[in-house]
């Protein structure tokens, strides 16, 4: 195990945990379910001096609260518990789909958490490899080096990608995260939380802990998540689309948002494409146009850093976008 030489700490409450992190900073990492962290540690992609387990904070930081306008989901809520909550099932069907697509039921039920999914690292075929495999190539930008293997000679940054299904759906749902530190709390929209930089994908300080995510649930909203992966389980998205569409009583679109996953270091928000839906009663033709525009916007982001060719992923982008938008719109119609 890559963590065998590091100190294991298990604070008994939130304030103790924040004190520890304030003291240790970037030398320590949080451990929730460990399903993203442990494989990286085993591959020596992360070698902290200490691990701070969140296991004693589960009571404090898990569960779903509903104030009618939004749902607050605690960071340590398991993926299964979040997806099974009645209010989530009734008002955020796209999130249920996204959470059910993560790994496998055992991972969702026992270990994987909402906070861990939001904070999961970006991924790349040249990065998520054993130390032995990587010893054959020069260190890339994400490892502090000066190359990007699939990026070619002109590459100047890391283009690893966000493949966290829950986070991609939450971005389309306009969610906000609460970050706590010894000095207080702050709230960030996901567009700010995800930096879009593969080297450092999260705008989170070394002393901060994500404590919850707040998801608005406006009336008349439908949502959907569509993921393409090599297998139906235990597979990250090669390309995915998350859509949320709200309509008014006449069926006119009041708000639409679309995020693509498996493309960019953050969920790729496609505001220009969905803008055209506002004020329209969208049918299949309009949705096809929006999906195509989304696909062409995403086109330049694809590089050969996944197990499926970039060309295929780019071709599939408008396909998943249209499926997610159509399903979200149909869901919205069912709400009024
Ligand atoms: C076989 C397998 C298949 C998988 N398939 C998928 C998949 O299809 N889709 C997908 O999205 N993911 C997948 N994953 C990744 C992972 O299971 C999920 O992203 C899961 O939700 C991570 O949650 P965790 O609690 O295990 O996170 P952890 O591994 O504990 O943490 C992940 C990262 O976030 C940090 N962290 C954790 N909690 C917090 C917090 N509250 N505040 C600040 N930082 C925090 C940790 O330090 C770590 O860097 C897979 C993993 C495995 C092993
Ligand atoms: S995209 Fe390039 S820099 Fe980033 S992890 Fe992959 S090889 Fe490294």
246 lines ligand 2 (CB under 6 A): no
Contact between 240 and 226 (Cβ < 8 Å):
yes
Distance 18 CA to ligand 2 centre (A): 32
Question: In the prediction, which pLDDT does 109 show?
Answer: 79
| Minimum CA distance residue for ligand 1 atom 53 | 35
| Minimum CA distance residue for ligand 2 atom 3 | 158
Distance 119 CA to ligand 1 centre (A): 7
Atom of ligand 2 nearest to the CA of 198: 4
* Coil, helix or strand at residue 157: coil
107 lines ligand 1 (CB under 6 A): yes
Length of the chain: 336
Question: Does residue 34 come out as left (phi exceeding 0), alpha (psi in the -120 to 50 range) or beta?
Answer: left
Question: In the prediction, which pLDDT does 2 show?
Answer: 61
Distance 234 CA to ligand 1 centre (A): 13
Atom of ligand 2 nearest to the CA of 303: 1
| Ligand 1 probe mutation, 3, 35, 45, 51, most atoms within 8 A of CB | 35
Distance 126 CA to ligand 2 centre (A): 6
Pairing between β-strand 28-31 and β-strand 50-53 as defined by DSSP bridges? parallel
Question: In the prediction, which pLDDT does 1 show?
Answer: 45
29 lines ligand 1 (CB under 6 A): yes
Which ligand minimizes its atom distance to the CA of 143? 2
Residue 46: CB atoms within 10 Å: 18
Give the end-to-end CA distance of the chain in Å, rounded to a whole number: 53
CB-neighbour burial class of residue 245 (10 A; exposed 0-12, middle 13-18, buried 19+): buried
159 lines ligand 2 (CB under 6 A): yes
Distance 72 CA to ligand 1 centre (A): 19
The answer to whether the pTM exceeds 0.85 is yes
Which ligand minimizes its atom distance to the CA of 304? 2
| Ligand 2 probe mutation, 150, 161, 264, most atoms within 8 A of CB | 150
In angstroms, the CA 44 to CA 42 distance is: 5
Pairing between β-strand 50-53 and β-strand 7-9 as defined by DSSP bridges? parallel
* Coil, helix or strand at residue 311: helix
75 lines ligand 1 (CB under 6 A): yes
- State the DSSP code for 250: T
- pLDDT beneath 70, residues of the chain: 1-2, 336
Question: In the prediction, which pLDDT does 4 show?
Answer: 76
């Amino acid at each position: 195990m890559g963590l065998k030489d590091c100190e294991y700490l298990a604070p008994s409450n939130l304030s103790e945990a924040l004190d520890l992190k304030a003291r240790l900073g970037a030398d320590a990492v949080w451990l929730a379910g460990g399903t993203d962290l442990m494989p990286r540690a085993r591959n020596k992609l992360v070698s902290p001096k200490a691990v701070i387990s969140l296991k004693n904070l589960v009571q404090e930081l898990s569960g779903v609260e509903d104030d009618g306008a939004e749902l607050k989901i605690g960071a340590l809520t398991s993926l299964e518990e979040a997806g099974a909550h009645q209010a989530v099932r009734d008002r955020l069907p796209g999130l249920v789909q996204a959470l059910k697509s993560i790994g496998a039921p055992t991972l969702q039920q026992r270990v994987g958490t909402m906070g861990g999914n939001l904070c999961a690292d970006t991924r790349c075929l040249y990065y998520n490899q054993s130390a032995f495999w990587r010893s054959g190539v020069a260190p890339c930008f994400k490892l502090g080096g000066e190359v990007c293997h699939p990026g070619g000679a002109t590459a100047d940054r890391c283009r690893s990608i966000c493949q966290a299904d829950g986070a991609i759906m939450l971005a389309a749902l306009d969610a906000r995260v609460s970050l706590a530190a010894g000095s207080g709390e702050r709230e960030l929209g996901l567009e700010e939380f995800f930096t879009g930089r593969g080297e450092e994908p999260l705008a989170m300080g070394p002393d901060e802990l994500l404590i919850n995510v707040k998801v608005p649930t406006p009336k008349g909203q439908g949502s959907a998540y569509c993921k393409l992966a090599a297998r139906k389980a235990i597979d990250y998205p090669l390309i995915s689309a998350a859509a949320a569409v709200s309509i008014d009583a006449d069926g006119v679109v009041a708000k639409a948002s679309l995020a693509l996953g498996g493309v960019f270091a953050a969920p790729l928000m496609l505001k220009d494409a969905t803008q055209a839906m506002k004020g329209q009663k969208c049918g299949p033709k309009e949705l096809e146009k929006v999906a195509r525009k989304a696909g062409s916007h995403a086109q330049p982001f694809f590089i050969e850093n996944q197990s499926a060719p970039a060309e295929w992923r780019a071709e599939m982008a408008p396909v998943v976008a249209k499926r997610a938008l159509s399903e979200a719109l149909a869901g919205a119609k069912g709400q009024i």
